[in-house]
Structure formats: C-alpha cells, structure tokens
Structure 1
C-alpha cells in the first residue's frame, strides 16, 4: 500500500488530503488546475498518497464528484497512490462505487485507494437531494461496506456483478471521527484513518479501540492506522500564522452555518470572531493536530504526533489561500522526509 517513490519521516510515510479549495475570486476550474499542480509537486517530493474528500453544497470545496476528480489527478501523476478520503458511502449505491472505482483501478492499476466514510458530508436537506430518501443512513454503513466488498470479490448476494470492479484488488480504508468506524475497521481487519485534524479530542481513544479489537484478515495481518493533521508551513512563523487565518475563517463560517469560498488571510482575526467563536474554532483546530510555523517547528510537532499516536501514516491537510504558499508548505514538509 506504499507508493514506490514514497519517502518517509522517521519511518512514517506522509500523504496529502486535498479538499480542492475554491478560493475567493476563483472558480472550480481553477481549483482543479491547482490540485493537479499540487499533486505533481508532492509526487516529486516523495509523498505517498493523494486523497480527495467528498463534500456537497459547500461553495469553497470543489471535490463533490470525487471519483471524477480522482481520475483527473491520477491522470496528471505517475506513481503516487490516488484515492478518496473519503467517499461518503450512504450517499451512493455500493454497486455504483464498485463500478466507478473498478474503472479507476482499470485505468490506473495498482494506484487507487478507496477510503469510505459513513457521514453524508453535508446537511440533511442536501443528503435528501442526493439520495431522494433518508431511509438509508449511517447505521446501515456496515452492510453497505460488506456489499461493496462482495462486488470486488465477485461473490455478491444475487446475480448482480460489478463490471469493471469484479476481481480487482482495491484497498478499502474506513474513515472516522468517532469510535464507530474504529470498531468496524478492527472487526473487518481493514486499515483505518482517523480525522484527527477536525476531531482531535477522540483520536487516541479511537486508535486504542481499533488496535485493541483488531482481527487479522486477508487484507491485513496487523492494524494499520493513519491520522490526519492540518499543517501550514512557511519560511517565517509570522507568515505561517497569517496564512492560517484562511482556515480559521473557513471553520468560523461553518460554525455560523454560512459556508463561503476559502477567504484570503487577514491581519487581525480577532476583529472577525467573538471570544466564544474563537474558543470553538480553536477546540476544533487543536494545536496537537494543527501545526503552524517554520520547518523546525513542524518537524518537532510531527515527531511529537507520531510518538503520541504511534501512527503508521500521517495525512496532511493544508487549507492555504495562495497556491504558491500551499506548494511551499508541502515542499517544506517534503524536505523533512528521508
């Protein structure tokens, strides 16, 4: 499950989580060009995976048609693993996902990851618009995962087969921000990725549940856990903190239920939020899983993260307004790898 060109940080591969941000003053087409450029650069710098996340009804996120965008990024790169972080399975018929990822794996053999989440990735009204019903919910996620696995194995219940998809070995990951997917990943012997970059308070408990209850499978002999972090790196601490105000504004807009495009950095964010809002955003962007600063500061924080979580991989989200600064942030992290 490791890219042949991947480098490591203290023996741990590092990967990229891209929310395909649409910045103020730009459109989705600009986001897709920026994502392809970023993917090409991080591949060269030795990152292991490049994952895209499914969100809907979000003006600042362009990755709603996640499978299509994965194909775009895979076509722009050569060796790096490309996948979903993740596909929100309750929004889709498992057969459709089996066919889509069977197509991707057929086009880019040995490079496709399928990360699955059970949340809708949106609000209830949008979830209904996607599904046309809310009778299928997160509680049916285990059955949907099983159905999807059966399409790939070629042994579904009934006579329906996934073409393409049948017989293909596409790594399935379960993603979570609570204990549910930790338990299910352990039960099914699958790799697990925890969204510690926005649910930091549950990280260590979820990882412990996963490892303590892991049952070996044909997929994995032992647990394999990846944790998410936010990293905004720059050549000076001052610029890094200035760039970080874009992500802070993004979480503030979500807190206010008024999502926007990714906004440019501002000089004094305390003029924008109230003390209560600041505390809420800072709780989500916990300093243990959100690193802002120079190379040396990021290196120290990553070492501490790996020591605390015993993670097998780390996936990095960097919500940065200016493309040149986003590239530089990942380059700084890339320079830390062996």
Structure 2
C-alpha cells in the first residue's frame, strides 16, 4: 500500500504575514493528520519572502506541538548550512519532546542563492565528499547511546541516543547513490526537478545496502496536487504556484500571489512549455482527474510513499485540495 505524506513550504501569501503562515502550517498539519497523511514535512529555505520555514527545527516543534500522531520533520535540513553537531542537538531535542514522531531529511543544496549561503557562515569552498562525511558524523552523534563520544569524542546533548528517522533527499543521482550506500530511505524532489526521477529510483533500488535502520529500500517522491471540485477551478488555484515559480526562476522571488485566470496561457508557448516540463509531476483537476493522475504516478515510479505538495493562495481551498488528494490516494491503495 502506497502511503501519502505532505510537504509544506509554509507559504507567506501576498497581503499576509509570517505569523499567519505559521498559524496556517499548524492548522494544515492537523488537517493532514485527520485526513490520514503519514507525515508532514517543512523545508529549509532562506532569503525568500514567500517561505516562512527558514528556522526549520523551530517550525517542526511548533507543528508537532499542534498535532498528536502524524510524523513531523524536515524535507529537508540543508546540511552544508550547519555543523552536524548543531543539527544533532536540534533534532535530539525534538526527538526528546516528540518521541517516535520526528523525521530528519538531509539535503546538500544551500536552500538559497550564493549571497545568502555565505551569510549562513559556512564556507562554500567544500570538497565533493563533505556532504557524505557530514551525514555520517551526524549519524555518529545519534548512535552514541552510551554517551562515550563515539568517533568524534563529543557527546551531543541532547542528541546522543536520539532516534529521528533520517532520510537522504535528492534531485539528482547523487542523493540516490548516497542513500543506497548508507541504507537509508530516499526522497526525490520530482515536484520541481523531475528529469532524473526514474534513473534515480532505479539506482537507489539496485545499489541499496541493508543497514541497521533499513533492511530494504524505501523510496518517496514529490508530486504537486492542485485539486478542487472542477478541473477549471483547480487550474485557477495552480496559477499561484506557477507565478511564484516563474518569479523564482527569473530572480525575483515574491510572496505567493493570488490566482490569475489564464496565467499559463499568458506566458506564450515557450514559457508554458518550460513551466509544464518543470512541474510535470503534477495533478491539476477535479477528484476524478487527480485520482487518475496520482495512480499513474504511483504505477510509473512504484514508490512506497508519495509526498503531496502545493502552494495555494486561499487556505480553505488548500485544505480542500489536500482532502481530495487523500481521498484519491485511498482509491489508489484500494485498487492496488
């Protein structure tokens, strides 16, 4: 049975505030929990007016406190921005507060442009092996259950003996290879970087080495869902994220704008084709179309879990979209 999860970038809408976005995040997580979602993730981004999840561990604590059973975590923490010890302490704290509910997805991108990355105070001049080394150092802090200091001689407090579920994230083949080598679950960012999806999944499954954490490969992939009562209404809702994506790619990131009728068509044939390609792992439509498109994605990828994501301007419409997506995933599971 394919599980379903939710990725929330905690969007700040035009005319809205960070406080409002964070309140919506907690409400959305409660809603996802009621709809049967497996987990709720937020992602680390910096210097973006439309995303309120920069202090990712803090947001996770906020959301976990507002929910009861759903797993809550990072999809992900951008490890080049942080010392592994700092991440161990943060997620050791979260694991102590919410045992058995915390996920720690790790990515190697900065989650920002180069200027903002430098302001994060970590050097940008790092060799290709830095990310795998940092991941293994982080693992060693959590594995140090007896407080001996392990391979570093340092005891993470909190952190030693903590057990957040660690994931490797990726939008290329590198993450798939690392997740396979370490025997960790793997999440692919196909919701915005679809090109290497099939190859990455094949490599991950082929090269997976069983570990103490995972005996078999476990894969998840991102998928945009904009669902409404009709296909036309869903197309309108999707235009907010389409506008935000174009703004980001043209170097003018903005808060999430209201939907605009006919936006995709206004881009012209070339612009619309680029947008359609980048967001090709998407379902936009009413309940029937969304269920059909999710089923096709699951059949194509054979993933263990689908991570639904979407930025919708109106919070009530976003909650309705998530409920329709949950119904669709149940249909997919029942038909399997």
Same fold flag (TM > 0.5): yes
Name whichever of 189-198 and 123-132 sits farther off: 123-132
CA distance in 1 between counterparts of 2:40 and 2:166 reads: 15
Distance change >3 Å, CA 271–CA 301, structure 1 → 2: closer
Structure 1 counterpart of 2:297: 305
Q: 2:143 aligns with which of 144, 153, 156?
A: 153
Give the gaps of 5 or more residues in structure 1.
1-10
Aligned: 1:13 with 2:7 = no
Q: Kindly indicate whether residue 318 of structure 2 is the aligned counterpart of residue 318 of structure 1.
A: no
Q: 1:235–1:295: 8 Å Cα contact kept in structure 2? A: yes
1:240 alignment partner in structure 2? 234
Deviation of 1:131 (Å) = 2.2
| 8 Å CA contact 1:17, 1:315 repeated in 2 | yes
Shift of 1:298: 1.1
Q: What is the alpha-carbon distance in structure 2 between the residues aligned to residue 253 and residue 282 of structure 1?
A: 15
User: Is 1:332–2:327 an aligned residue pair?
Assistant: no
Who is 2:89 aligned against?
Answer: 99
Structure 1 residue aligned with 2:24, among 24, 31, 34? 34
- Between Structure 1 and Structure 2, how many residues are aligned? 326
SS at match of 1:86: strand
Q: 2 CA distance for matches of 1:137 and 1:16? A: 33
Aligned to 1:218: 212
Deviation, structure 1 residue 270: 4.7
What's 1:255 paired with? 249
**Counterpart check, 1:292 vs 2:284:** yes
Pair 1:112-2:106 in alignment: no
What is the aligned partner in structure 1 of residue 131 from structure 2?
141
Give runs of aligned pairs for residues 131-210 of structure 1, distance below 5 A. Answer: 131-136=121-126, 139-154=129-144, 156-210=150-204
Instruction: String of CA shifts for 1:219-277, please: whole Å, max 9, x gaps.
Output: 11110000100000000111000011001101110121100000100012157534433
The DSSP-based 3-state class of the residue aligned with 1:201 is: coil
* Conserved 8 A contact 1:90-1:137: no
Shift of 1:279: 2.2
Structure 2 counterpart of 1:283, from 246, 254, 277: 277
Check if 1:48 corresponds to 2:38: yes
Q: CA 1:270–1:292 in 2, change beyond 3 Å: closer, same or farther?
A: closer
Deviation at 1:278, TM superposition (A): 2.3
Q: Does 1:228 align with 2:222?
A: yes
Question: Structure 2: how far apart are the matches of 1:231 and 1:172?
Answer: 25
Contact 1:99 1:164 in 2 (8 A): yes
CA distance in 2: counterparts of 1:132 and 1:312, whole angstroms: 35
Report the Cα distance in structure 2 between the residues aligned to 1:69 and 1:217, rounded to whole angstroms.
Answer: 30
SS in 2 for 1:131: coil
- Matched with 1:5 is none
